[in-house]
Structure formats: structure tokens, C-alpha cells
Amino acid sequence: MRRTAIELADGRELIYFDERDDAVRDQPDRRELPPPPRASQLRYDPLTDEWVALAVHRQTRTFLPPADQCPLCPSRDDLLSEIPAPDYDVAVFENRFPAFSGRVGEEPAEITPFTPVRPGQGRCEVVCFTDDHDASFAGLPPRRVRTVLDALADRTAALGELPGVEQVFCFENRGVEIGVTLHHPHGQIYAYPFVTPRTRAMLGAARRHAERTGGGNLYADVLAAERAAGTRVVVANEHWTAYVPAAARWPFEVHVAPHRPVPDLPGLTDEERDAFGPLYLDLLRRFDGLFDLPMPYIAAWHQAPVRVERELAHLHLQLFSIRRARDKLKYLAGAESGMGTFISDVAPEHAAELLRAA
């Protein structure tokens, strides 16, 4: 894989990850762009012990443009996009409308003594999986999945070195039902200046399990139990297992986990990275086959924090959809949005059975 970094017209970084060693990526960005926005503002919620990001500049971000104006397609004579090259394999660049940024301005003023405020220092990146606007991740060849995985590992390591970054989160949103604003196949990476609430909760459970068991890894133990039971396993190979969690929150939710506990994507071996692609592509095609239509989904990589309790984590991908039937979506209504308590419409065992048969 060839890695080439360039600078866009407004100073943001773009990195090409090419599968050809002879790829030349010297095309300049010919646009005239305003300076990137300053970092968002973080406000602390004392009632939930959580940080909330205020990124008001994102209100004007690009929203579902026509295909001939897609900013993630390669540039051409009639379109100057975020990608200056006329083609690419995988490209990663700083988000033009970031929730977190290293471009920190003045320290924000205090709101109340109970609400500390600080800059949203970090970084947000866009990951373009292919230059084909009409493609989907499920239609990529295994080699491209490996390139994407290598790019995510590269960025996880690099972003973890940035000042103030505490956690790196790689994910893909697919489908307008999920809320995507660009149709082109792409994912995102958030480098957070704090450990996220979901990860803190998982680390707390893992810590208590380790104390009870004399050092056991909670996720590894749960994975071993699911593999032994087999009831909710959808697909598996030598290095990975994809299973529906016994307490799945979403109508169709699958965890894809390596058998060997590793904290993050950079920790995967070449063999593990190669084995991921065929299994994941199989799983995505099963999702699309459930109702014979493109399945809206979120694919979220759960990685260890950058600096704390890394030994408690176990890398895994959480793939889930809000579609609960061909003509029905799962909305986060009163119980889920108000109280954070999920009520599932599909039994995990039945979901696994449907996915195995898809």
C-alpha cells in the first residue's frame, strides 16, 4: 500500500491510500476556500457527567447534493471536489465541517459554576472507500476492505498521538434513514478529547468483571460464551466471529470480534486483517438480503481509549440497523430517548436465524 499526504487549498490534510506502488498523487487543489472553522465548544453536563459538543458551523454542511456535484467523487473539469485526483482507491481527509478540531481559538467563557466549558480540541476525518459514487461497502472486493482497514489502523495510530486526544472512533453511516448527508460510500473518524460515555460504561463493567475474576477480560469471556452456545452466531472463520448479542438493543445488531483480544485496529495482525474482509462482506450482504433492499446501518468500531485502561478493552465492530421490518423502522421514542432504556422488537435468537438464512 502506498501512502501519500497532500494539503488541500484551505490547509486541511488529505491522505491517499493506494493499492498500486506507482500511483502518483501530485494533483493540486485548485479551489478557493475560506479558512477551516475553529474548534467547537464543549459544555459539561453535571447531571449526566457527560460532555456535549456545540458545533454550530455544521448547520451549513453539504446536504444530499446531486450525484454530479458530489464532493467525495474525484475532481474533473466540471467539478472541483474534496479529492483533487482524477481517481483514487481510498482517501482520508480532514472534515470541512468538523465537530472536533485542532484549530483552537480563544478559551470560551464560563457559563455557570456547574457547567465548565472548553474547546472541542480533536480531529474529524472523512474516509472515502472508493471513487465509485454508486458503489456500496458490501460491493467492495476483499482487497479493498483490507486497504480500508489498513487506513483506519493508520489513522487510529496517528490521531492517538495528537495532543489532548483520548479516544479514536471509526464508523460508517449508511442510508438516508440513518441520517447520511452524502450518498457516496464513506465513513468517518472522530478523535475525541474525552472518553465517550458508552466506552466509559463498558470499561466500568470490564473493570468490575476483572476484579471479580482475578483479571478476566469481560468481552473475551462473553465472546467465548457466545461461540460455545452458537445460537446467535451468524458467521465465523479462523480469526473472527460475528454474533447477535444476547441483549441486542437494535432489531438487527451484530458484533464482529477477533478471537484474540486486541485493544484497537493497529493491534491486528496481517492474518487477522485479511480474514476480516470476506467475513464482513458476507455479513453486509446478509443484511441487504434480509428484506431484499439496501439496509440502512451504522458500523461502529469500539476501540480502547488512547491512554487509560487499554488492558480492559477488546476491539470489536458493532453493526446495527434501525430497520425492524421491510416497511418499518425502529424509532428511539420515549423510553429510549428519555430514559436510555431500549425495548427490542426482534428477539436476538430470531434475528440471528434470519441473518443465517438470508
Q: Which residues are catalytic?
A: 186
Cell 468500531: give the residue: 301
Q: Three-state SS for 181? A: coil
d(CA 308, CA 330) in angstroms, rounded, equals: 35
Residues 278, 280, 281, 285, CA torsion sign: positive
Largest CA distance in the chain: 63
Neighbouring CB atoms inside 10 A of 79's CB total: 13
d(CA 344, CA 299): 19
C-alpha neighbours within 13 Å on the C-beta side of residue 148: 27
Residue type, 10: D
Q: How far apart are CA 124 and CA 218, in angstroms?
A: 30
Strands of the sheet containing 123-128, edge to edge, are 2-7, 13-18, 90-94, 123-128, 186-192, 167-174, 297-302, 316-321, 252-258, 240-243, 233-236
Residue from 198, 199, 247 nearest 226 by CA: 247
CA distance 321 to 195: 24
What separation in angstroms does the CA of 208 have from each of 11, 214, 285?
45, 10, 37
64: Cα separation from own chain's centroid: 20
The two beta strands, 323-325 and 328-329, are antiparallel
